[in-house]
């Protein structure tokens, strides 16, 4: 009996050991996860965490010190330039390692390797590979390492990341590694490049070529120009209207076959892009000359609008070496300060919204994809066998063909209903060899306009409005990148890919990129609008946004003596200039007295989308209802994917022509008028609003439900922040939507001693168990700012210093 009992105990123990050491579905091995020594308990950071450390690494060239302040912002002081980047890499890894690696796994199409057999994730992985993300990063890495100075800085940063990774114990792993049961890999310069390509996709990967191709199968070219105009009636361009432009340095030639094979082709597609960047990834920035400020010193403001997430995309930092003293927002995963200021200048960025991605129809010889028809003959492809590893499931093999244009993104094996030998290849500027990081190495050290100009030259992708202001008094902006020189209409639709006649014929000379230096009106603003008026001599299709730029221009024009506090108010401004134009039009054509209270609230509205506003909810519901009534009939004839005209396009169309043929519902025997459609839309919206009012009182923030999710979204919902009491719309300067908005607000006053303010919606730590994980969100929500401390080494004993880390080689 004793023997049987002993055997039972042994078997039970073995079963428990096996059970606790095994991953069950999405549940990590509970033995490790619950272990007091190395499990998730170790991620609960004490409120009095000790941030002091003395670190020694043989690959350092000198000594360095990091002072961690009361907001967990590190202030790096390094004797040697390369050591500063080593220390930056170490700190990025210490506070944001899982985030850094996750973003590169996303970009390389490797999420299934860690997250398992989810069809949505597998599709994402395949698209990343077929879009050529790794191909782009490989090209960039070669270019980055071709320059000895850049390579030295990248190598130092990578060494710093790896120094932290190799020091990690099981207990110190970020909690996401423990939950998903995997460990971090070594960092590399390639991963830096890959991270920057992920940002390129986010900022310069949105285009509408596939959707426009489908729309063209139903609409005429003149219809397309009305529905998707390139020049808005109301836009306030970055370069002041009326600016004279030089004759173009390159004049691309339209192919002789374009009217028949391209514009006249009415092919319909059914291609579904799995991962589409956010349509509204944008931003605001502006600079005000000293002639229009109360102090006489320039002001620069920037707030990039991105998908909001935890851990936050930004990490605040100061870096001081013998050649630079720079402060601002950094990207965990890449060296340098990205948006910030130094002792002489300030700099910021907004998205150019230019289309730098085109598609070409490819014809393979047969299903092997080994050859495609090009310039009158069968041309070999380069085949790459992609191994998509899937946790817990056999590897998926995907053959991707590379053509003269780039990788074949869609074919019969991937989200495309065409069969046989038809396929679609993608040509994207992000595939070009480039060294974007080199710009920031120079910009962080720039002292004047000429230094800034030298720093930004050669930047390839993504296109950015690069704003500048200096203590010497200059303000400037350049829309900088390498932009294709296109003939009129080129790249709006899928192009024939059977010969070279539709290939890009060259690039717009860099000196002809839109730019402004010290304008007469005393300020510069960019908010993702088209940068120039219709007189610019190139065809520059893009995904432009109008209303924010209009509001910002109006506000700055009314500020003869601007102050930092006025800049804060403008960044937090909830005014919707588009609604100010739309509401009078809607009320004018409203032909009913039902739901009079809703109409009265709009009549009395000040057009500010404050958190508590009811009118903002009523307005958005009415506009959404009207858009559906106007467009559903025509667009029901169009296949997927499709994109409907922007809200601003509909408004301008109705203001310009109240009898536009698009107002009529073509599926009914009668011809509807604008009054009938506006009224029907209002009644439909009001009926829904009356129901919603019972639940949330139509309060704007409750209606749109702003949230900042963890990068794994629903999978780790408790690690995010829900129910944020924030106002704003995509069309207001403070463009907070459901999961998107100002990701870093910064204002720099370039007085003799720099005065700067900033905040972002998150916290410095990537650890959900830290008090520094999301401690900025409440202040960000209500429009508060922190004074940015450009620390001096002599302030080492300041009470704001929370901890000190020393770095040396012995």
Kindly indicate the confidence band of residue 41, based on its pLDDT and cuts at 50, 70 and 90: very low
Higher pLDDT, 486 or 22: 486
Asked if pLDDT for residue 279 goes beyond 80, the answer is: no
List the one residue out of 712, 531, 764, 724 whose CA is nearest residue 106.
712
d(CA 111, CA 117): 10
**Distance between first and last Cα of the chain:** 64
List, for residues 354-367, the tens digit of each pLDDT value: 999 999 999 999 99
What's residue 207's pLDDT? 84
List, for residues 736-772, the tens digit of each pLDDT value: 999 999 999 999 999 999 999 999 999 999 999 999 9
Kindly indicate the confidence band of residue 44, based on its pLDDT and cuts at 50, 70 and 90: confident
Q: What is the mean pLDDT of residues 359-384?
A: 97
Kindly indicate the confidence band of residue 592, based on its pLDDT and cuts at 50, 70 and 90: confident
Asked if pLDDT for residue 47 goes beyond 80, the answer is: yes
Asked if pLDDT for residue 443 goes beyond 80, the answer is: yes
Q: What is the mean pLDDT of residues 661-680?
A: 96
Asked if pLDDT for residue 33 goes beyond 70, the answer is: no
Asked if pLDDT for residue 15 goes beyond 80, the answer is: no
473 to each of 290, 299, 302, 515, 751, how far by Cα in Å?
7, 10, 18, 17, 10
Kindly indicate the confidence band of residue 206, based on its pLDDT and cuts at 50, 70 and 90: confident
Which residues, in sequence order, are CB contacts of 683 under 8 Å at separation 6+?
A: 592, 594, 595
What's residue 233's pLDDT? 84
What's residue 466's pLDDT? 98
Is 25:115 a contact under the CB 8 Å cutoff? no
Pick the range with the lowest mean pLDDT from 33-37, 452-456, 644-648, 765-769. Answer: 33-37
What's residue 714's pLDDT? 81
Asked if pLDDT for residue 18 goes beyond 80, the answer is: no
List the one residue out of 789, 310, 168 whose CA is nearest residue 802.
789
- Which pTM does this prediction carry? 0.93
What's residue 150's pLDDT? 97
Q: What is the mean pLDDT of residues 615-636?
A: 97
Q: Does an H or E element contain 157, and which?
A: helix 148-167
What's residue 136's pLDDT? 98
List the one residue out of 349, 206, 355 whose CA is nearest residue 283.
349
Is 569:547 a contact under the CB 8 Å cutoff? no
Asked if pLDDT for residue 271 goes beyond 80, the answer is: no
CATH number for the domain running over 577-704: 1.10.1400.10
Higher pLDDT, 238 or 277: 238
List the one residue out of 321, 336, 381, 28 whose CA is nearest residue 173.
28
Q: What is the mean pLDDT of residues 427-451?
A: 97
Asked if pLDDT for residue 670 goes beyond 50, the answer is: yes
Asked if pLDDT for residue 24 goes beyond 80, the answer is: no
Asked if pLDDT for residue 782 goes beyond 70, the answer is: yes
Q: What is the mean pLDDT of the chain?
A: 93
Kindly indicate the confidence band of residue 170, based on its pLDDT and cuts at 50, 70 and 90: very high
Return the percentage of the chain with pLDDT > 70, whole number: 92
Asked if pLDDT for residue 27 goes beyond 80, the answer is: no
List, for residues 504-532, the tens digit of each pLDDT value: 999 999 999 999 999 999 999 999 999 99
Q: What pairs with residue 708 in β-bridges?
A: 721
Kindly indicate the confidence band of residue 48, based on its pLDDT and cuts at 50, 70 and 90: confident
377 to each of 15, 111, 370, 752, how far by Cα in Å?
65, 39, 13, 66
Residue given tokens 């490797």 in the structure block? 110
Is 326:342 a contact under the CB 8 Å cutoff? yes
Residues in the chain: 810
Higher pLDDT, 271 or 250: 250
Residue 510 burial (10 A CB sphere; 0-12, 13-18, 19+) = middle
Is 448:187 a contact under the CB 8 Å cutoff? no
195 to each of 115, 127, 136, how far by Cα in Å?
19, 16, 11
Return the percentage of the chain with pLDDT > 90, whole number: 86
Show me where the domains of the chain are located.
Answer: 577-704
Kindly indicate the confidence band of residue 198, based on its pLDDT and cuts at 50, 70 and 90: very high
């Amino acid at each position: 009996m004793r023997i049987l009992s002993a055997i039972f105990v042994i078997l039970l123990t073995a079963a428990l050991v096996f059970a606790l050491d095994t991953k069950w579905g999405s549940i990590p091995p509970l033995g490790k996860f619950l272990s007091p020594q190395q499990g998730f308990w170790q991620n609960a950071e004490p409120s009095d965490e000790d941030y002091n450390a003395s670190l020694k690494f043989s690959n350092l060239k000198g000594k360095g010190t990091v002072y961690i302040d009361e907001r967990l912002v590190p202030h790096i002081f390094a004797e040697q330039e390369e050591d500063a980047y080593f220390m930056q890499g170490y700190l990025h890894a210490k506070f944001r390692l899982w985030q850094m690696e996750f973003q590169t796994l996303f970009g390389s199409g490797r999420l299934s390797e860690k997250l398992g057999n989810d069809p949505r994730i597998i599709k994402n992985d395949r698209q990343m590979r077929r879009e050529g993300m790794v191909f782009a990063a490989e090209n960039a890495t070669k270019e980055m390492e071709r320059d000895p100075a850049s390579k030295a800085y990248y190598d130092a940063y990578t060494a710093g990341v790896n120094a932290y990774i190799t020091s990690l114990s099981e207990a110190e792993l970020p909690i996401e590694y423990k939950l998903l049961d995997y460990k971090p890999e070594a960092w590399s310069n390639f991963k830096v490049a890959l991270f920057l390509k992920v940002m390129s996709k986010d900022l310069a990967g949105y285009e509408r070529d596939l959707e426009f191709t489908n729309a063209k199968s139903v609409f005429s070219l003149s219809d397309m120009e009305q529905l998707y105009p390139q020049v808005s009636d109301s836009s306030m361009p970055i370069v002041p209207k009326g600016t004279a432009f030089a004759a173009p340095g390159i004049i691309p030639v339209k192919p002789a076959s374009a009217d028949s094979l391209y514009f006249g082709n009415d092919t319909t597609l059914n291609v579904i892009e799995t991962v589409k960047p956010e349509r509204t990834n944008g931003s605001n920035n502006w600079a005000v000359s000293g002639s229009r400020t109360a102090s006489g010193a320039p002001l620069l403001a920037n707030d990039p609008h991105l998908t909001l997430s935890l851990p936050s995309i930004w990490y605040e930092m100061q870096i001081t070496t013998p050649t630079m003293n720079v402060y601002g927002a950094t990207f965990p995963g890449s060296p340098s300060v990205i948006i910030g200021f130094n002792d002489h200048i300030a700099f910021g960025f907004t998205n150019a919204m230019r289309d730098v991605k085109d598609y070409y129809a490819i014809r393979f010889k047969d299903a092997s994809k080994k050859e495609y028809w090009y310039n009158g003959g069968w041309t070999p492809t380069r085949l790459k066998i992609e191994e998509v590893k899937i946790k817990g499931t056999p590897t998926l093999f995907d053959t991707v063909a590379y053509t003269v244009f780039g990788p074949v993104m869609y074919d019969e094996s991937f989200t495309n209903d065409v069969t046989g030998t038809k396929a679609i290849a993608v040509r994207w500027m992000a595939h070009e060899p480039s060294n974007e990081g080199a710009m920031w190495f120079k910009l962080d050290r720039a002292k004047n306009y000429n230094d800034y100009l030298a720093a930004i030259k050669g930047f390839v992708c993504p296109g950015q409005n690069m704003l500048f202001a200096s203590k010497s008094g200059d303000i400037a902006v350049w829309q900088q990148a390498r932009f294709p020189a296109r003939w009129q209409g080129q790249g709006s639709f899928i192009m024939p890919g059977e010969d070279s006649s539709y290939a890009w014929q060259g690039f717009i000379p860099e000196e002809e990129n839109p730019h402004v230096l010290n304008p007469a009106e005393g300020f510069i603003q960019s908010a993702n609008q088209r940068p120039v008026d219709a007189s610019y001599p190139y065809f520059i299709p893009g995904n432009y946004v109008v209303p924010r730029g209009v509001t910002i221009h109006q506000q700055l024009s009314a500020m003869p003596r601007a102050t930092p506090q006025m800049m804060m108010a403008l960044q937090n401004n909830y005014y919707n200039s588009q609604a100010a134009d739309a509401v009078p039009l809607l009320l004018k054509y409203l032909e009913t007295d039902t739901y009079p209270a809703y109409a009265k609230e709009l009549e009395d509205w000040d057009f500010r989308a404050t958190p508590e506003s009811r009118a903002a909810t009523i307005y958005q519901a009415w506009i959404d209802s009207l858009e559906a009534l106007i467009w559903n009939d025509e667009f029901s004839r169009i296949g997927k994917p499709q994109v409907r005209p922007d809200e601003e396009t509909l408004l301008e169309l109705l203001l310009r022509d109240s009898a536009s043929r698009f107002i009529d519902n073509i599926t009914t025997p009668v011809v509807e008028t604008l009054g009938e459609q506006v009224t029907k839309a209002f009644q439909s919206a009001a009926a829904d609003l009356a129901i919603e009012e019972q639940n949330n009182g139509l309060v704007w923030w409750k209606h749109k439900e702003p949230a900042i999710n963890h990068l794994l979204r629903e999978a780790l919902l408790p690690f995010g922040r829900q129910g944020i009491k924030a106002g704003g719309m995509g069309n207001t300067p403070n463009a907070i939507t459901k999961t998107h908005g100002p990701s870093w607000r910064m204002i720099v006053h370039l007085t003799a001693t720099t005065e700067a303010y900033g905040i972002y919606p998150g916290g410095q730590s990537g650890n959900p168990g830290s008090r520094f994980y999301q401690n900025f969100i409440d202040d960000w929500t209500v429009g508060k700012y922190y004074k940015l401390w450009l620390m001096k080494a002599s302030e080492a004993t300041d009470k704001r210093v929370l901890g000190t880390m020393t770095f040396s080689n012995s």
